[in-house]
Chains A and B, each alone.
Chain A
Amino acid sequence: MSRKLLETDGLEWVQRGVISEAQREQLLTLYPIDGAAIGLLPLLGSLLVGLSALSVVAANWQGLPELVRLGLLLGALLAAYAGGEYFRRRGNLSLGMGLVALGLILFGASIVLTSQLYQLIGYDLTGLLAWAVAGMGLTWLYRSRLLFLLTAIISGVVQGYNTGQLGAFSYLTAIGTALGLGYYWWRRPDALLGGVLAGGLLWQAGLLINHLHVKITWFFIPAMLVYALGDWQADRPAGRALQGPPLGAAFLFTLGLALFGESDFYAGQLRAPLVPYLAALGAVLAVSLVGKQRRGRLGSATDWLLLLPGFYFTGGLPLAVATLVVLYAYSGSVLVRAHQEHNPDRVTLGTVLFVLTTAVAYFKLTWGFLDKSLFFLLGGLLLLGLSWWLRRRAARTLAATAAPVISQP
């Protein structure tokens, strides 16, 4: 609840007798006006002044003496951190954390610009690694979501630079990201950070698979390990958020396979050797299931339907049918569970996935032998009918959940 809502609607609540005037005032004191908040105009003004100073420095950068350049970098770095602490102390947390984040960015910029200043190119990763480590330290110190996000991005950039420019994968960076940020998230579960962490880890896993030139499907082993971590997390929303990106990746991959897999052109790069792949996936499945069972969420085991290795069927129709079966099994299970749990968001999600799968299935299975106009007509009717039926079911489910809430006094 915000102070604004209290101010606008509070009087009406008093008139209706929901709360008394004294209670309204008590509530208002719970949400004090943020006295230290800086007005927008001074902020924009100082931003412009800062930008002009930055452009003057940037334009004359090469002409400045070495020590002046070094001094400017370090001065800006220290000023950002000191300013961040100053504003946090004044109670202006957003601005304070913004400045600390700026300090972290300036640290990275200082490393790069100082190396250039002394003509050191450095094909090693030490400087960039130091940047990621500093970000991790600041995240732990300030317990800030902004710094967590920034550190996840920095680690991803470091790994991307390393594989792209230096042609090597830094296991240190990957393990450091997983342990440093992963443990932080484990101790302070948070939905947004779960998504950020999973995204960052999947990015690095993707880079690793690409770097090792192994079959693409190996990607799902680290991805589902991230998923399994979500099963062990006690905080349910945070765990679900961590599981979103791996499931999204698996769904998109299967969808792509259903659409384009028949040519068997990519199929050669797809399939990891059957037995090692299934053994590894089975091990991760076991870890995941034990976690689900410990936390009493065995119902969500249906997520694993998406990992059914339908892609081992060889190209053409069998592959398309197998991947569609996987997609239908998954989106159907999402819908069924959403209706059982009376969860409106998941009903919507399940509906979208189901309709998407049906569109792909229709497109794949009928395009070849239906006249084009008939194809579009029937397809449109099918989708309209399906969405109507699903929406009706959703409305019924929601009515069932909404009723007890309204009947409460």
Chain B
Amino acid sequence: MSLSAPDSVATAPLAGATPATPGLPARHRRWLIWLVAAQVLFVLGVAVAGYATAALGRTITLQTEPVDPRDLLYGDYLRLRYQISELPGSLWRGSATPRRKQAAYVLLEPRSSGDFEATGVYAEPPITTGQQAVLRGSVQDVWRRGLRLRYGLERYYVSDAMSRHLRQRRRLRVTISIAPWGQARITQVDTLRQ
């Protein structure tokens, strides 16, 4: 790829630079290379973050609530609702009452089935012991007896065919990787026998 300065320049009404600009000067060309390189690095950074979360993260499994098979809004992703998406207010361990859009840290412990369930919701990251894991979410809704949380794990991007297949199994087991720096992503979705 060569990014050298244009040697002849015609005028263009909307698309062009000001007619008098004789192409990009050398200093600007260097800036352009930096700018394009930064864009490529940013996209690679997103990929690396995703890859590293799966490679270095701790794996837990969560159960979803039944998927609504009549959900019309399917396309390139499946909407997931977890058992820990709605939690009773008694699990709240914060000092003040929870507010909408507030960050919430959900302490998870494995049950006999192997799937993780919530044992407490904290406003600050709690200290974990042994098998416990922490998932960061944000409070979406608060009502008298409970709260709804969002984890950034509610969409699973799959092909149409796979999406349709998963939709028919109502309950799903979702494998999640939680990176040491707190980022989480779905690594696998399996169907559960009913």
> Footprint of B on A, CB under 8 Å?
34, 36-37, 62-63, 70, 73-74, 77-78, 81-82, 85-86, 88-98, 101, 103, 107, 110-111, 114-123, 127, 130, 134, 137-138, 141-146, 167-168, 188, 192
**Contacting pair B7 A89 (CB below 8 A):** yes
**Contacting pair A118 B46 (CB below 8 A):** yes
Residues of B contacting A70 in the complex (Cβ-Cβ under 8 angstroms):
43-44, 47
> Footprint of A on B, CB under 8 Å?
1-12, 14-18, 21, 23-24, 28, 31-32, 35-36, 38-40, 42-44, 46-47, 49-51, 53-54, 76-77, 100-101, 138, 150, 152-160, 162, 183, 185-187
**Contacting pair A81 B24 (CB below 8 A):** no
Residues of A contacting B11 in the complex (Cβ-Cβ under 8 angstroms):
93
Instruction: Knowing A119-B186, A121-B155, say if A92 contacts B1 (CB, 8 Å).
Output: no
State which of B6, B47, B76, B162 has its C-beta within 8 Å of the C-beta of A118.
Answer: B47
Question: Which residue on B lies nearest to A145, using beta carbons?
Answer: B14
Instruction: Knowing A142-B17, A146-B14, say if A93 contacts B9 (CB, 8 Å).
Output: yes
Residues of B contacting A90 in the complex (Cβ-Cβ under 8 angstroms):
6, 8
- What are the 8 A-B residue pairs with the smallest beta carbon separation, nearest first? A118-B50, A62-B159, A89-B6, A93-B16, A97-B15, A93-B12, A94-B15, A94-B12
Residues of A contacting B9 in the complex (Cβ-Cβ under 8 angstroms):
88, 91, 93
B32 CB to closest chain A CB, in angstroms? 6
**Contacting pair B43 A144 (CB below 8 A):** no
Best-buried of A36, A63, A119 by chain B (most CB within 10 Å): A119
**Contacting pair A74 B40 (CB below 8 A):** yes
Residues of A contacting B40 in the complex (Cβ-Cβ under 8 angstroms):
74, 77-78
Bound-complex Cα distance A119 to B3 (A): 35
**Contacting pair A111 B42 (CB below 8 A):** yes
Question: Which residue on A lies nearest to B100, using beta carbons?
Answer: A167
Best-buried of B7, B10, B38, B44 by chain A (most CB within 10 Å): B10
Bound-complex Cα distance A98 to B109 (A): 54
**Contacting pair B15 A78 (CB below 8 A):** no
Bound-complex Cα distance A114 to B23 (A): 33
Question: Which residue on B lies nearest to A137, using beta carbons?
Answer: B35
A-B contact pairs, 7 of them (CB 8 A): A62-B158, A74-B44, A118-B53, A119-B156, A138-B32, A143-B17, A188-B18
Residues of B contacting A103 in the complex (Cβ-Cβ under 8 angstroms):
36
B69 CB to closest chain A CB, in angstroms? 21
Residues of B contacting A107 in the complex (Cβ-Cβ under 8 angstroms):
39, 42-43
B93 CB to closest chain A CB, in angstroms? 23
Residues of A contacting B44 in the complex (Cβ-Cβ under 8 angstroms):
70, 74
**Contacting pair B138 A123 (CB below 8 A):** yes
**Contacting pair A93 B10 (CB below 8 A):** yes
Residues of B contacting A34 in the complex (Cβ-Cβ under 8 angstroms):
10
**Contacting pair B6 A88 (CB below 8 A):** yes
Instruction: Knowing A122-B152, A123-B152, say if A74 contacts B16 (CB, 8 Å).
Output: no
Residues of B contacting A36 in the complex (Cβ-Cβ under 8 angstroms):
8, 10
**Contacting pair B35 A120 (CB below 8 A):** no
Residues of A contacting B14 in the complex (Cβ-Cβ under 8 angstroms):
145-146, 192
State which of A62, A123, A141, A145 has its C-beta within 8 Å of the C-beta of B32.
Answer: A141
**Contacting pair A77 B39 (CB below 8 A):** yes
Residues of B contacting A37 in the complex (Cβ-Cβ under 8 angstroms):
10
**Contacting pair A118 B51 (CB below 8 A):** yes
Instruction: Knowing A34-B10, A118-B47, A146-B15, say if A130 contacts B42 (CB, 8 Å).
Output: yes
**Contacting pair B47 A117 (CB below 8 A):** yes
Bound-complex Cα distance A36 to B28 (A): 24
A130 CB to closest chain B CB, in angstroms? 5
Residues of B contacting A145 in the complex (Cβ-Cβ under 8 angstroms):
14-15
Bound-complex Cα distance A88 to B49 (A): 36
**Contacting pair B154 A121 (CB below 8 A):** yes
Instruction: Knowing A118-B51, A119-B186, say if A82 contacts B43 (CB, 8 Å).
Output: no
B51 CB to closest chain A CB, in angstroms? 7
Instruction: Knowing A91-B6, A93-B15, A114-B43, say if A143 contacts B150 (CB, 8 Å).
Output: no
B189 CB to closest chain A CB, in angstroms? 10
Instruction: Knowing A36-B10, A119-B50, A134-B39, say if A89 contacts B4 (CB, 8 Å).
Output: yes
Instruction: Knowing A120-B50, A121-B154, A141-B24, say if A74 contacts B43 (CB, 8 Å).
Output: yes
Residues of A contacting B157 in the complex (Cβ-Cβ under 8 angstroms):
116-117, 119
State which of A63, A77, A116, A118 has its C-beta within 8 Å of the C-beta of B49.
Answer: A118
Residues of A contacting B15 in the complex (Cβ-Cβ under 8 angstroms):
93-98, 101, 144-146
Bound-complex Cα distance A391 to B165 (A): 69
Bound-complex Cα distance A168 to B102 (A): 12
**Contacting pair A91 B3 (CB below 8 A):** no
A373 CB to closest chain B CB, in angstroms? 50
Residues of A contacting B187 in the complex (Cβ-Cβ under 8 angstroms):
119
